[in-house]
């Protein structure tokens, strides 16, 4: 297991170095000069443009620019954002907690509502609640995120004044409940259906019939025996989903004015702000790698048949 | 199997807990008592250093600093920190005296040196501050901004401190509009505290204006200010302001509807909704800004004036401003916006809507073969307007029009590089201060930063604009600028489209929201 983990981590280092190069060259190839976008819709005086271009080394050839960036990176310096003049590390430091809070809240909603309703639906197969879950999950997966976002804002924020519609000033959980629920919606649908399906399959197994036959209470059979075995594919799905949630959600972040990494990356690409794009994307790759690793380890813990060497 | 229902109960309890949690938190949002402070939505600024401002932090800077001069709501120049701004006979040497006794919010007196220190830092090329271009007209600028190599000086030779309250500025050219130019953020002062520790200053900015920062700047979140008790200028009505950072005007508008924000700027996409939802609370300022169509005049075909006239007459400006801008834009009848002091109206002979005459003019010019490409920059809200203009042209002139959206990062380079050869483009000039000179000198002099957006300038025109710059009386200067406009409209190098307003909305929690070329008049806002 330890050797397996070390191997996976060594892979991650290689992936990260490769990613910085690929992303940096991709941003470099985008047309335009990031300094030119600084003055909004107005052209900048040539002297100012020149001063900024020189200050950020934008007139250097690609390989020199990347070399300087890579050298800085090795010393832990993520560079400076051209469009804001702030350090990339501090920009990510501001955006990351927002995205992490949003993602983890959404993830918790997915687990509680998704797994919960899936299990209950399976345990009550064919009854009203089961049908509700089946229909509801399709609806949740189908509704576009921005439709759900605006509708929930108008209903719960503007009409009823229950929850704030924008920003993080009210703090957790109030500021995050609405966006997290909207963000979790497709996940809830998928997780509920998956949980229900795997639960139904497990409930048909012989050991369940035996457990019921020897007189164990039904909820004990469902929760302790069946759920445990049915969770392996659900955990895999939840793990991938966490990576996806943590990578930032541009639509939800912008509608609810949450300054997270999704928006940071989106704006940086718009402004051709290379150092920010590379910093954010590399971080996201790391998050995905770690999330996947966690999923694999967790799957092994749940299912003794899975072993890594 | 009776017990099968139990898990349902568990879930219901969980959901009830979540719901309870949300109702409990709702008490903290919504309308909490906020004393006499109000909230303004802003985009995230790069910095609060005036010289670094790229046009985003305008409201915050107006709250934090007192300018030398300032335009009032009627676009007339007034003096704030300046006592007098007096030219010599040729308008090349200006003597600025400032009012004594004003203090920065850390107690340091505001002196002539506070101004010159800030100007030197902004004008110093290697600092790469966004306001650098404000100082091109001052003597010694070239030494601080050599085309290559290191600057030979650290300070502007043309900005001299004569005594604690007097600055003498020497310009490279005559400029009658220098007092107007002093209203730009680049000309604000900086306290010694900034130069001692820039990072600490950025974390908690110190200015000399009507409001001072309370608490620290929270990037991407908010900046809170309270009334500065020792301020010597107009005393603000409200006790304080919280600037909350929004990532888009659309998000800010939603927050305003929910009562989280009191004042926000809105974009054209929200105009119609705001006029419908809260018509009484929409505040618009007819800005000194013009949208126009530009032509590749270096291309012989577009050098033909008949073509430009035909295109101009084929555009239904009234419908575009009504439908796309909810009447918060005015069809143009001149290239100079009426907000600019003394600007004439109705000097455009071809700004009406006359499709028949347009077709006739196009035929006389030899027609147009192949698709006409309409170029415009992305991300600045032109997409709808570009579609509407393309539609008008293709229907009224019976030609095929295609759109070419260019990323804003390469837009001006495309124009400067003469990449537009097969069509026309959407141009825009928002004057930095409401003087006719700003639009004329920038768009129609070869030295102007917007010259690549018009490609039109003649020696005779430059001579007239320069004559206006050299006049020491405002009335004489304006007369020259009006003459320049007549010359431009006669040559018709660009097609004026419309003047767009600055549009804000506010909640009923605040009153007396005045918007002018300084954006929001924050000191006037009253909290109900």
Range B83-100 average pLDDT = 95
Chain B residues touching residue A165 (CB < 8 angstroms): 254-255, 257-258, 260
Cα–Cα distances in Å, from A116 out to A109, A176, A187, B19, B417?
10, 21, 13, 16, 61
Residue A81 is assigned to a structural domain of this protein: no
Q: Are residues A265 and A139 in the same domain?
A: yes
CA distance B361 to B98: 57
For residue A230, the model assigns a pLDDT of 87
Decide if A38 is inside a domain. yes
Asked whether residue B272 carries a pLDDT value surpassing 70, the answer given is: yes
Q: Is residue A309 part of a domain?
A: no
Classify residue A79: in a domain, yes or no: no
Chain A positions in Cβ-Cβ contact with residue B379 (cut-off 8 Å)? 270
Residues A144 and A269 in one domain: yes
For residues B51 and B61, give the distance between their C-alpha atoms in angstroms, rounded to a whole number. 11
B9: which residues sit within 8 A by CB, 6+ positions away?
none
- B19 pLDDT tier (thresholds 50, 70, 90): very low
- Which pLDDT score, from 0 to 100, does residue B6 have? 36
Q: Is B429 on the interface with A (CB under 8 A)?
A: yes
- Helix (H), strand (E) at residue B117: helix B112-123
Q: Which of A40, A74, A108 is the last residue of a domain?
A: A74
- Kind and range of the H or E element at A37? none
Residue range(s) defining the domain that contains residue A296: 92-302
Task: Please state the φ and ψ torsions of residue A303, each to the nearest 5 degrees.
Answer: -120, 105
More confident residue, B34 or B242: B242
pLDDT in tens, A192-212: 999 999 999 988 889 988 998
CA angle B376, B377, B382 (to 5 degrees): 70
pLDDT in tens, B497-520: 999 999 999 999 999 999 998 889
Chain B residue at shortest CA distance from A158: B258
Tens of pLDDT, residue by residue over B299-353, are: 888 989 999 999 999 999 999 999 999 999 999 999 999 999 899 888 999 999 9
Q: What is the pLDDT of residue B50?
A: 95
Domain shared by A52 and A154, yes or no: no
**Chosen domain end from A74, A105, A131:** A74
Dig out the tokens for A82 from the structure.
Answer: 């051209």
pLDDT of amino acid A37: 67
Give the pLDDT band of residue B17 (cuts 50, 70, 90).
very low
Scanning every residue of chain B, which has its alpha carbon at the shortest distance from the alpha carbon of A254? B247
Residue of A nearest to B124 (CA): A51
Reference A264, options A236, A234, A284; nearest CA is A284
A145: closest CA of chain B, how far (Å) = 15
Specify whether A230 is located in the same domain as A138: yes
What is the Cα–Cα distance from B40 to B509, expressed in whole angstroms? Answer: 12
Q: Contact B104/B232 with Cβ under 8 angstroms?
A: no
- The reply to whether A35 and A142 lie within a common domain is no
- Indicate yes or no: CB of B412 within 8 angstroms of CB of A47: no
Cβ of A43 within 8 Å of Cβ of B408? The answer is no
The angle that helices A174-203 and A88-109 make with each other, rounded to 10 degrees, is 50
**Tokens at B274, concatenated:** 């705001």
Predicted local confidence at residue A41, as pLDDT: 61
Chain A residues with CB under 8 Å of B220 CB are 94-95, 259
State the average pLDDT over residues A262-285: 85
Rounded CA separation B394/B355 (Å): 11
Q: Assess whether the previous peptide bond of A173 is cis (omega < 30° from 0).
A: yes
Contact yes or no for B260 and A86 at CB 8 A? no
Q: Do B258 and A173 touch (CB under 8 A)?
A: no
User: What is B289-500's CATH topology?
Assistant: Dipeptide-binding Protein; domain 3 (3.10.105)
Cβ-Cβ contacts under 8 Å, A34 against chain B: 409
CA distance A309 to chain B (A): 39
Contact B254 A54 (CB under 8 A): no
Q: Which residues of chain A does B132 touch, with a Cβ-Cβ cutoff of 8 Å? A: 45, 47-48, 51
Domain boundary among A45, A74, A103: A74
Helix, strand and coil in chain B, % to nearest 5: 35, 20, 40
Q: How far is the C-alpha of B454 from the C-alpha of B442, rounded, in Å?
A: 10
Per-residue pLDDT at B338 = 93
Tell me, yes or no, whether A105 and A174 share the same domain.
Answer: yes
Q: To the nearest whole angstrom, how far is the Cα of B100 from the nearest Cα of chain A?
A: 33
Which one of B3, B21, B247 has the shortest CB-CB distance to A218? B3
Mean pLDDT, residues A117-144 taken together:
92
Number of domains in chain A: 2
Domain boundaries defined on chain B: 289-500
Query: pLDDT higher for A286 or A211?
Result: A211
Question: B30 and chain A: CB distance < 8 Å anywhere?
Answer: yes
User: What is the least distance, in Å, from the CA of A127 to any CA of chain B?
Assistant: 11
Residues A32 and A175 in one domain: no
Residue B437 has pLDDT above 70, yes or no: yes
> What is residue A228's predicted lDDT score, i.e. its pLDDT?
83
Give the pLDDT score at A131: 94
Q: Quick one: angle between helices A2-29 and A274-302, nearest 10?
A: 150
Considering only residues B10 and A222, tell me which one the structure prediction assigns the higher pLDDT: A222
First to last CA, chain A: 6
HSE-up of B59 (CA within 13 Å, CB side)? 29
Quote the ipTM score.
0.79
Structure tokens at B211: 């409001």
Model pLDDT, residue B3: 39
Contact B339, B517 (CB under 8 A): yes
Q: Which of A31, A46, A165 sits opposite B254 (nearest CB)?
A: A165
CB-CB neighbours of B508 under 10 Å: 11
Of A43, A117, A153, the CB nearest to B412: A43
* Residue among B489, B448, B485, B450 nearest B464 (CA): B485
Q: Using the 8-state DSSP alphabet, how is residue B287 labeled?
A: -
Cβ <8 Å between B22 and A270: no
**Chain-chain contact of B128 with A124 (C-beta, under 8 angstroms):** no
- Residues B164-188: tens digit of each pLDDT: 999 999 999 999 999 999 999 999 9
A250, closest residue in chain B (CA to CA): B247
Beta bridge partner(s), residue B502: B285
CATH assignment of the domain containing A255: 1.10.3720.10
For strands B263-265 and B495-506, give the pairing: antiparallel
**A-to-B residue pairs, Cβ atoms closer than 8 angstroms:** 216
Between A286 and B475, where is the model more confident? Answer: B475
In angstroms, the CA B210 to CA B63 distance is 6
Residue A93 has pLDDT above 50, yes or no: yes
pLDDT in tens, B74-85: 899 999 999 999
A98 lies in the same domain as A11: no
Check CB contact under 8 Å for A161 and B55.
Answer: no
pLDDT reported for residue A247: 77
CA B199 to chain A, closest CA, distance in angstroms equals 11
Q: Which of residues 401-420 of B touch A (CB under 8 A)?
A: 407-413, 415
Inter-chain residue contact B258 with A161, CB threshold 8 Å:
yes
Task: Tell me the shortest Cα–Cα distance from A295 to chain B, in angstroms.
Answer: 26
Structure tokens at B147: 């085309």
DSSP element (H, E) containing B328? none
Q: Give B48→chain A minimum CA distance, Å.
A: 11
Tell whether B127 is within 8 A of chain A (Cβ). Answer: yes
Nearest beta carbon to residue B254 from set A47, A153, A218 = A153
Domain shared by A179 and A280, yes or no: yes
What residues 56-75 of chain B have any CB closer than 8 A to a CB of chain A? Answer: 56
User: Nearest 5°: phi and psi at B94?
Assistant: -120, 135
Same domain membership, residue A104 and residue A28:
no
Higher pLDDT, B226 or B28: B226
Residues in chain A: 309
Using a CB-CB cut-off of 8 Å, the residues of chain B touching A170 are: 25, 28-29
Q: pLDDT confidence of A11, banded at 50, 70, 90?
A: confident
Where does B316-412 show beta strands of DSSP type E? 329-331, 372-377, 401-406
Interval B200-231: pLDDT, tens = 999 999 999 999 999 889 888 899 999 999 99
* Beta bridge pairs of residue B495: B293
| Residues counted in chain B | 528
B242, closest residue in chain A (CA to CA)? A169
Has residue B27 got a pLDDT over 70? no
Whether residue B409 and residue A119 make contact (CB cut-off 8 A), yes or no, is no
pLDDT tens-place string over residues A231-257: 888 988 888 888 888 877 888 998 898
Q: Is the pLDDT of residue B11 over 60?
A: no
pLDDT grade, residue A24 (50/70/90)?
Answer: confident
CA of B403 to nearest chain A CA: how many angstroms apart?
Answer: 18
Among the partner-chain residues B46, B251, B430, the one whose CB lies closest to the CB of A85 is B46
Residue from A28, A30, A37, A48 whose CB has the most chain B CBs within 10 Å, to mutate: A48
Which of A297-306, B120-129, B314-323, B484-493 comes out lowest in average pLDDT?
A297-306
| Banded model confidence at residue B35, pLDDT cuts 50, 70, 90 | low
- The Cβ of residue B152 has, within 10 Å, a number of other Cβ atoms equal to 10
Do A99 and A268 meet the contact criterion of CB atoms below 8 Å apart? no
The answer on A151 and A62 residing in a single domain is: no
Rounded Cα distance between B325 and A187, Å, is: 39
Judge: A170–B54 Cβ closer than 8 Å, yes or no: no
> Does residue A162 sit in the same domain as residue A224?
yes
- Find the mean pLDDT for residues A70-76: 83
Closest residue in B to A125 (Cα) is B4
Give the model's confidence band at A136: pLDDT under 50 very low, under 70 low, under 90 confident, else very high: very high
How confident is the prediction for chain B on average, in pLDDT?
89
Give the tens place of pLDDT for each residue, B356-399. Answer: 999 999 999 988 888 899 999 987 889 999 999 999 999 999 99
pLDDT exceeds 70 at position B23:
no
């Amino acid at each position: 297991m330890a050797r397996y983990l070390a191997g996976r981590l060594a892979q991650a280092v290689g992936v990260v170095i490769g990613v910085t190069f690929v992303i940096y060259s991709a941003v470099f190839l985008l047309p335009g000069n990031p300094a030119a976008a600084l003055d909004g819709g107005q052209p900048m005086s040539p002297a100012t443009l020149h001063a900024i271009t020189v200050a950020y080394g934008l007139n250097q050839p690609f390989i020199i620019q990347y070399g300087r960036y890579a050298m800085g990176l090795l010393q832990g310096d993520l560079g400076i954002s051209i469009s804001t003049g702030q350090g990339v590390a501090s920009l990510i430091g501001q955006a990351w907690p927002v995205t992490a809070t949003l993602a983890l809240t959404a993830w918790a909603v997915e687990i509680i509502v998704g797994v919960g309703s899936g299990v209950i639906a399976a345990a009550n197969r064919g009854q009203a609640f089961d049908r509700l879950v089946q229909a509801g999950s399709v609806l949740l997966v189908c509704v576009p995120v921005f439709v759900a976002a605006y509708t929930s804002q108008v209903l719960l924020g503007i009409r009823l004044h229950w929850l704030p519609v924008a920003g993080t000033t009210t703090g957790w959980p109030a500021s995050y409940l609405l966006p997290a629920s909207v963000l979790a919606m497709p996940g809830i649908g998928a997780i509920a259906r998956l949980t229900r399906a795997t639960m139904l399959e497990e409930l048909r197994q012989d050991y369940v019939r035996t457990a019921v036959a020897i007189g164990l209470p039904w909820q004990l059979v469902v929760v302790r025996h069946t759920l445990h075995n049915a969770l392996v594919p659900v955990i895999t799905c939840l793990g991938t989903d966490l990576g996806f949630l943590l990578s930032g959600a541009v639509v939800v972040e912008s509608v609810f004015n949450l300054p997270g990494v999704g928006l940071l990356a989106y704006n940086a690409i718009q402004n051709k702000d290379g150092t920010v794009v590379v910093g954010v994307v590399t971080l996201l790759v790391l998050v995905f790698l770690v999330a996947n690793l966690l999923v694999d380890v967790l799957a092994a813990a749940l299912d003794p048949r899975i072993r890594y060497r | 199997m009776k017990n099968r229902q139990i898990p349902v109960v568990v879930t219901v309890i969980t959901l009830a807990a979540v719901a309870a949690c949300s109702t409990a938190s709702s008490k903290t949002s919504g309308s909490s008592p906020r004393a006499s402070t109000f909230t303004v939505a802003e985009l995230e600024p790069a910095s609060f250093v005036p010289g670094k401002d790229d046009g985003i932090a305008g409201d915050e800077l107006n709250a934090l600093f007192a300018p030398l001069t300032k335009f009032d709501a009627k676009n007339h120049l007034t003096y704030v920190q300046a006592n007098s701004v007096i030219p010599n006979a040729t308008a090349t040497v200006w003597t600025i005296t400032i009012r004594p006794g004003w203090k920065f919010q850390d107690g340091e007196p505001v002196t002539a040196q506070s101004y010159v220190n800030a100007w030197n830092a902004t004008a110093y090329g290697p600092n790469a501050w966004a306001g650098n271009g404000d100082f091109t007209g001052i003597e010694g600028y070239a030494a601080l901004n050599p085309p290559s190599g290191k600057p030979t000086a650290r300070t502007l030779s043309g900005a001299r401190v004569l005594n604690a309250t007097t600055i003498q500025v020497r310009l490279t050219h005559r400029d009658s509009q220098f007092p107007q130019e002093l209203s730009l953020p680049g000309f604000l002062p900086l306290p010694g505290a900034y130069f001692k520790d820039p990072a600490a200053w950025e974390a908690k900015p110190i200015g000399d204006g009507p409001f001072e920062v309370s608490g620290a700047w929270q990037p991407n979140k908010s900046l809170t200010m309270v009334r500065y008790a020792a301020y010597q200028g107009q005393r603000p009505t409200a006790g304080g302001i919280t600037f909350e950072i929004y990532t888009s005007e659309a998000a800010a508008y939603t927050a305003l509807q929910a009562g989280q924000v009191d004042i926000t700027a809105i974009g054209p996409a929200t105009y119609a909704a705001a006029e419908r939802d809260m018509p009484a609370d929409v505040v618009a300022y007819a800005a000194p800004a013009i949208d126009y169509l530009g032509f590749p005049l270096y291309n012989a075909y577009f050098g033909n004036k008949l073509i430009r006239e035909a295109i101009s007459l084929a555009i239904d400006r009234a419908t575009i401003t009504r439908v796309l801008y909810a009447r918060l834009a005015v069809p143009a009848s001149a290239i100079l916006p009426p907000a600019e002091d003394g600007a004439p109206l109705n000097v455009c002979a071809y700004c009406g809507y006359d499709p028949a005459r347009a077709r006739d003019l196009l035929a006389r010019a030899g027609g147009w073969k192949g698709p006409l490409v309409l170029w415009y920059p992305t991300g600045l809200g032109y997409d709808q307007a570009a579609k509407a203009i393309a539609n008008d042209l293709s229907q009224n002139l019976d030609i095929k029009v295609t759109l070419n959206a260019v990323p804003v990062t390469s837009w001006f380079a495309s124009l400067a590089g003469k990449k537009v050869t097969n069509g026309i483009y959407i141009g825009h000039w928002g004057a930095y201060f409401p003087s006719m000179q700003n639009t004329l000198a920038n768009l129609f002099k070869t030295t102007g930063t917007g010259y690549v957006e018009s490609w039109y300038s003649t020696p005779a025109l430059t001579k007239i604009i320069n004559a206006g710059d050299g006049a020491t009386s405002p009335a004489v200067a304006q007369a020259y600028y009006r003459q320049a406009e007549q010359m431009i409209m006669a040559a018709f190098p660009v097609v004026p489209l419309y003047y767009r307003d600055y549009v804000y909305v506010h909640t009923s929690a605040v009153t007396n929201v005045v918007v002018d070329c300084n954006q929001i008049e924050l000191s006037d806002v009253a909290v109900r």
